[in-house]
Amino acid sequence: MKVFHTQESRRKTLSFPIQCVRDDAWLGEAYYFWKEELDADDWGNNSKRKTKNYEIYECDLNSENYIDTVFNEKHYYFWINQLEKIAKKIMLKTNEKPTLKELNDYIKDKNIWPEVDFIQFQDLPVNSERSLVKPITYKYGKVRTVAFRKRIQIAVYNKEIISNFVLKKTEQVI
């Protein structure tokens, strides 16, 4: 599977993707990719503004061992049920809802899915720029984007499946 990795422009071209270790990472510590180059560009323009330039790398993921929450209904319900079970376990111990970091740390520390190399996940866009449909504007000013097009992210946990990582392009932030 061909995927795209977006980063701030650096002095040296990357030879391997950078792992995301932020506490607010959707799917925990992982190498994050976009399924489509268009989304990698959007991410660069909207999130990689420090150097005023961003880079898009492309590579291949070589594995059949993944959870596809986007197109596989069984995988989606398995994943949701597992997250709910884990969240309830944490809530029993702490009497609080877990943070995203606590949930992801639990999955990592307990090695819940050791055979899973990556998770394919639908990121929900809030920007209406790419939508072909006008946003819905409510009476009191609230606006809701109608996003028919899926924005697919991939979180890779097994770096051994990443190959042919190359710089595709460098772009200036718009």
Those residues whose C-beta lies under 8 Å from the C-beta of residue 84, and which sit 6 or more positions away, are: none
Give the C-alpha distances (Å, rounded to integers) separating 51 from 12, 39, 40, 56, 85. 13, 19, 17, 14, 42
Give 12-23 pLDDT, tens digit per residue.
Answer: 999 999 999 988
pTM for this entry: 0.88
Give 118-169 pLDDT, tens digit per residue.
Answer: 999 998 766 666 667 777 889 888 887 777 788 899 999 999 999 999 999 9
